Amino acid sequence: MASSEPFPHAPLGRITLTAESLVADHPPRFKNRNKEALFSHVCPPRTTYSGEITVSRWPQRLLPLELRWADAPTRIELRPGIFQYAPVTADHIAWTLNFAHSSLFIAYAGPLFAQDEMQVMEHPALASVRERLKDDPDPRLRPLTREGGLATPVLLRGVERRCAIATDVNADEDRPRGLYGNAFARASEAAVLRATRVLSPPTISNILAIEAPEGGMGRYGLEQLFDALSTAYSGFSAARAESEFAAEDASSKVEVHSGHWGTGAYGGDRVLMAMLQFLAAKAAGLDRLVFHTVDHAGAEPCREALRRLDGLTALPLGGTLQAIAAMGFEWGFSDGN
């Protein structure tokens, strides 16, 4: 594993839950007919849930402001398509981002089907994690990815992925507007089930939940950039620390799979948010950051982000942030999903 600073790095709290009893004691509570039908299809009565889920919540970390872009060997890979959930092996630990709300999985039960809610439906035990943590008396395990103005990343290790759901536009499959976002609630139950491929046996995923900055207008300020970078850095650092805690092999490689974080409903700038994630991955000492661009058009903002960062290699992280602020990035508008 690459490293940018000494460890240990301790979580606020950590709990390990047996998947079978978790779902039995805290079943999902869906409020949307399509989600109820989807869950019944993927997890019919007498479904067996295997393994354990480890949930940890982490504090925000101080940025290593003297680090330079060229100092860290982190590999940045741009990959077309959406999340495929890389397998975890003895020498390779992968984490996939959850584009979270500050309240973890808060909208899982309703009609919306953005990245967060889609991930829960593909990993239905995540809904039970929320139901379980809502009742936990320990404030360190609150289902919050942000508290008191600071990031508190939540990591979920060992979650079964039980299905893959196609959300693309496909009129022949009765989804002329796709299934993403608000289109899911308008789709027929038959279209939703037709778009769902049950995974048997389930695969295992590790999930990293962090909330992107939201609600901005006009030009980004230095404080907003600092907050977004701190959030991504804290989440990526937590993924590396939790990987070190769980790894059987101390030389295991750690990678995070991310994408256009905060650029949909939150209206963030695509080039800027890619730049901040690339910087955070370097600062956290990840071995690799895999950025899923969705399509080839989505890769161009990432390439532009890398071009701009390559022009700032002589600056420490603090100076890089100031230089990015001077570039004049501006907030966009929510895409409504």
Q: Which residue type is seen at 68?
A: R
Q: Is residue 335 left, alpha or beta, with left meaning phi > 0 and alpha meaning psi from -120 to 50? A: alpha
Contact 80, 299 (CB under 8 A): yes
pLDDT the model gives residue 2? 39
Place of tokens 């994408």: 259
What pLDDT sits at residue 8?
Answer: 53
The letter for the amino acid at 274 is A
**Residues 99-138: tens digit of each pLDDT:** 999 999 999 999 999 999 999 999 999 999 999 999 889 9
pLDDT at 6 exceeding the cut of 50: no
**Percent of the chain residues past pLDDT 70, beyond the cut:** 96
Backbone angles phi, psi at 228, to 5 degrees: -65, -45
pLDDT, residue 69, reads 84
Residue 4 has pLDDT above 50, yes or no: no
Q: Mean pLDDT across the stretch 268-292?
A: 97
Is 90 exceeded by the pLDDT of residue 55?
yes
- What pLDDT sits at residue 59? 97
* Beta-bridge mates of residue 56: 14, 155
Amino acid present at 195: A
* Domains along the sequence of the chain with CATH: 13-326 (3.40.220.10)
